[in-house]
Chains A and B, each alone.
Chain A
Amino acid sequence: MATTAPPLVEMIGVDKRFGSTVALSDVDLSLSPGQCLGLVGRNGAGKSTIVSILSGVETPDAGTVRFAGAPTPRVGDVTRWREWIATVFQHSMVVPELSVAENVFLGATDRFVSWRDMRARTREVMRGWGYDIEAETLCRDLTVEQRQIVEIARALRRGAKCVLLDEPTAALEREAVRRLFTRVRQLTSSGVAVLYISHHLEEVFEICDDVCVLRDGKRVLTAPVAQLSKDDLIAAMVGAVPEGAAASAGPSAQSVSRDASEPVLVVENLTANSARGKLAGVSLQVRPGEVVGVTGLLSAGVATIGRAVAGAEGRESGQVRLRGELVPPGQRAAAQRAGIGYIPEDRRAEGFVAHLGVAENVTMAITDRLADRLGLLRPGRRAAAAAPVTAALSLVSSGPGQPVSELSGGNQQKVTVARTLAHEPGVIVAITPTRGVDVASKALLLESLAHVARRDGAGVLLCTDELSDLVICDRVVVLVRGEVFTEFTEPPFDRDQLIIATEGIAANGHAEEAAHDLEQDS
């Protein structure tokens, strides 16, 4: 890394405050051509602020940013800024109703648009990447991965020298992540610098040369990844070594009587036809106090089964019974009344009402309980009801009235989870509840779900493609193409076995036995 030339991108002593919150204080950061630098930190550590500053969206309060030793273009001068740094944001910035070609050339077309030229150049870019995405396809018809490729293509079209990837793998399947990494390596070997932001530390170890750790707005560590262990990294992020961040949320196994008890949730032969993945006759049961994991590839129907059980989505056939009572299909309100809590997959879309306060969002599902006979709700009662739940999740806010839109992503996710926990449901359906959440908060969220099962005897159906979430499960059902492929009944679950199973390959021994057990069960 001993380069004589000034680094490609350099931040020196950068400070940034938002109101009374210090987002960054005295942060240094530098990137050389061909370097892949990982940027990690807990939610609210300042990662997003660095992204905003380097993307030319925010101006630092103090300190300097330089590109190859020269001052940066003016903030807001998007065109010139993009010649240096292009950002692939965490949340898709493609215009769904426009074609791939239009999105790649968004804001950069000539005065008179030559469609033929634009398409040809798009094809060229795509071919360069070894991708066959049609230039005419509308972006709304693309998969998440393909949309990301469109965004990267847009970033590189103008020959940016540095690419910022802000949690690019949050919505990708394993295969797609592998392909993304191949592309990132391609980029760095051609001399492009990459700033890689992720909550997945293993990814950082896999793809990054160096890693920079932020904590509470300060840079606490920059080092080559080869010199660090995962625990070193977690220690730097959290400030102290957590007693095995994920392991502390162990399975709730112990209760003995559980096996004998009647299932609280029975799903029989569920079929559904959904854009998120079909279900072709899935049956499963959850007993009180049990955490049942459902996993598989994104297209396998993992999210669909959660949504169908929670009534967020309709179903074609099959039954869902809660404590023996039939739950009507596709009616979220009815499912909720029956006692099914729901932690939705996409917190921005379904998790909260952005401009309403924390307490109001957390108590949204229990207004019937909080209201008096006339239906009146006292803000004080609302805050009091929300307080224990938000405290248990260490939700950080300036008060119960703070709009959720002002919280960091991880805290927004906690609002979503708290809303469900406040409802004290008989069954909780959680779909990828830890997506976009840092390691420590992740353990906390999982722990809170396990806790609800253990203490209150709620059943938890945890639908996730995040294998590390499954540590709290007593059993794991693996879906392949909308069918139950196999079931793991003995925690701890072997990660490799799980991966093999999700790919639809019967593992030798263990998984087959499990599948056999399942048949005997039913």
Chain B
Amino acid sequence: MISNKTPDGSAGTVTTPGGTARVVPRVAWLADRVRSMNIGVLREVALLPVLILLIVVGSVVSPVFLTVTNIAGIGQQISALGVVVVGESLILLIGGMDLSLESTFGLAPMIAAWLILPVSAFGSGTQLSPYLGLLVLLGVGAAVGFVNGVLIVKGRLNGFIVTLGMTIVLAGLQNGIVKAQTLFNLPKAFGYLGSAYFGQVPVSFVVTAIIFALVGLFLRYHRTGRALYAVGGNPAAARAAGIKVERIKIGAYVAGSILAALGGLMEAGRVSAVTGQQGYGEGIIFSVFAAAVIGGVSLRGGRGNMIGAASGVILLGVVQNILDLANVSSYWIEAIDGAVILFALFLARVVGGESTAEEK
């Protein structure tokens, strides 16, 4: 064997400290650990300075900003968006994109509410149990995601156009089935997730945080989660390694849409109504993509994590809140909102370093 003839460079593997190690090697070891924990750690907290800056700005702008009520309000406001961002991140990770999440966000609660409510409240009159309604809601999400996934993966159609088309179809359905009416008087079980509080903490915020944590752990430690990274990073290599690439991809679309439907439920609960505008009409997809990308999820697939995505969501929520508190004229709010997002993206790129850069 010639293996012992290779250059000394092969001794480059990280070694744990020997028993004789004292303080100095221990520090080096710690530094090594921190580095090997993932460059991600640095990238993940890349937005922290920006957030701190925003919090300072916020507390200067308004004395209300740092009150518990306001922070709980932000928490409730960003929950729905956050859940959709988790869904979109899963799809971005496999190298796809889904514009129709914003329509699923509106349509799924609309169909569910329509089936639950009586005709007098513009419902269908079937008066479905609210609990069955929740199942319907998730079912609508799953179905939309499945259709998207099959068209894109099996049919090998362009994901951008497929989901753009789907966006418009779904938004049309959302308005069509209730003739552009708004559905009020949602049953308590239906609105609970979006409107209830544990003490001063919104239920939706807790649920969203749990979703972020679970999906984050799933992505980091579950074999399917790791497969998402492999598929997005290099589908050919993933296939060669025996990963079922198509199944993973379709699965990501389904999961993403289910999460979008859940986000829609939170939003409906928060505003105690389902409007024809929810989702597509509000154009939430821009915020969804912005939060994901600011948080370091690559549009080219294979890169990103939940800590980044969560900080992207929080950042957008805080910006929105500050703009509200500052009483910025509603004529200008969009221009400022957009500008702040661009600025945040730039800062995240600067702080996050090379790993957040798009290809040259």
Contact = CB atoms under 8 A, between A and B. Distances in A.
A364 B243 contact: yes
A242 B241 contact: no
B223 A367 contact: yes
Contacts of B7: 42, 216, 239, 396
A361 B222 CA distance: 15
A238 B229 CA distance: 37
A371 B36 CA distance: 21
B10 A367 contact: no
B3 interface: yes
Contacts of A351: 237, 240
A394 interface: yes
A467 interface: no
B59 interface: no
B2 A377 contact: no
A350 B235 CA distance: 8
Interface string B299-319: 000110000000000000000
Interface in B208-227: 221-224, 226-227
Instruction: Name the interface size band of chain A.
Output: 35 or more
B244 interface: yes
A245 B3 CA distance: 11
B9 A44 contact: yes
Contacts of A238: 5
Interface residues of B, number: 34
Given A44-B9, A353-B233, A364-B243, A394 B14 contact: no
Nearest to A405: B233
Interface string B1-22: 1110111011011100000000
Interface stretch (A80-88, A143-151, A336-344): A336-344
Contacts of A312: 239-240
Interface string A34-52: 0000000010100000000
A440 B5 contact: yes
B244 A377 contact: no
B330 interface: no
Nearest to B217: A376
B3 A444 contact: yes
A355 B2 contact: no
A430 B238 CA distance: 17
B46 interface: no
B215 to A, nearest CB: 14
Contacts of B236: 344, 349-350
Most chain A beta carbons < 10 A, residue from B5, B14, B238:
B5
B309 to A, nearest CB: 18
B296 to A, nearest CB: 13
B338 to A, nearest CB: 30
A447 B7 CA distance: 18
Interface string A347-372: 00111111110001100110110110
B234 interface: yes
B230 interface: yes
Contacts of A344: 236, 240
B37 to A, nearest CB: 8
Contacts of A472: none
B9 A333 contact: no
Interface string A74-104: 0000000000000000000000000000000
Most chain A beta carbons < 10 A, residue from B2, B12, B38, B243:
B2
Contact of B229 (A356, A370, A392, A447): A356
A342 B303 CA distance: 26
Interface in B26-52: 36, 38
Contacts of B224: 375
A349 B233 CA distance: 11
Interface of B: 1-3, 5-7, 9-10, 12-14, 36, 38, 221-224, 226-227, 229-230, 233-234, 236-244, 302-303
- The 6 A-B residue pairs whose C-beta atoms are closest, nearest first, are A336-B242, A399-B14, A353-B233, A367-B223, A364-B241, A394-B6
